[in-house]
Structure 1
Amino acid sequence: MSTGAAAVMAWTGSATAVVAGLSLLGTGLLAQSRAATAADLASLAAADAAALAHPAPCDRAAETARRNDARLTACTLQGRDVLVEVEVAASPLPAATARSRAGPGPAELP
């Protein structure tokens, strides 16, 4: 093999590694964004259900998370606030997680 061919192969291998790394980074960022969105929507759904005296607001959070391709991993009621945590699969990376809190605004408190 000539020196020129070896250099081309080395550059091709390096470029491939960079593209693969950027692809993994993009996958992770997309999964994190999806997790944050799912967590926000799940906490809002649960807070809305709690405000309407729904007997199981965390069930609403789980359903909303599922509809956003996420899995509810935690749901806690703290007073009139709802705290949720969700995870989104990010294969081949570890799952992305996000937390969110929702509740009545200051003007809505008694």
Structure 2
Amino acid sequence: MSTGAASVLAWTGAATTMVAGLSLLGTGLIAQSRAATAADLASLAAADAVAVAHPHPCDRAAEVATRNGARLLLCEQRGWDVLVTVEVDASPLPAASARSRAGPGPAELP
């Protein structure tokens, strides 16, 4: 094999490795963004359910998380606030998770 062909082969391998690495990084970033969005929407839905005296606000959070491609890991009501943690599959990487809290602002409390 000539030196030129070996150089081309080496550069092709390096470029392929870099593209694969960037692809994995992108997958992780997208999964983390999806998890954050799902957590925000789930906590807002649950806080809205608390505001209208829905008996099971965490059921609403789970439904919204599922509709956004996430799985609800934790839902906790603390007074008028709701805290949630969700997880999104990021195959082949580990799952991405995010937390969110929602509730009325201090001036809006009854």
So what's the TM-score if we normalise by structure 1?
0.98
> 2:94 — aligned with what?
94
Structure 2: distance between partners of 1:107 and 1:67: 31
Question: Secondary structure, in 3 states, of the residue corresponding to 1:100?
Answer: strand
How many residues get paired?
A: 110
Q: Structure 1 residue 38 and structure 2 residue 51: aligned?
A: no
C-alpha RMSD of the superposition? 0.5
Q: Cα offset for 1:107?
A: 1.9
Structure 1 partner of 2:63 = 63
What secondary structure, in the 3-state scheme, does the structure 1 residue paired with 2:94 have? strand
Partner of 1:50: 50
More strand by share: 1
CA distance in 2, matches of 1:78, 1:24: 37
Unaligned 5+ segments in structure 2 are none
CA deviations 1:50-86 (Å, max 9, x no partner) are 1111010000000000000000000001111000000
Query: Does residue 20 in structure 1 map to residue 20 in structure 2?
Result: yes
Secondary structure of 1:76's partner?
strand
Of all paired residues, the percent bearing the same amino acid is 81
* Structure 1: stretches of 5+ with no match in the other structure: none
Using the alignment, how far apart are the partners of 2:15 and 2:97 within structure 1?
31
Find the aligned partners of 1:78 and 1:50 in 2 and give their Cα distance: 10
What's 1:83 paired with? 83
TM-score after normalising by structure 2: 0.98
SS at the partner of 1:93? coil
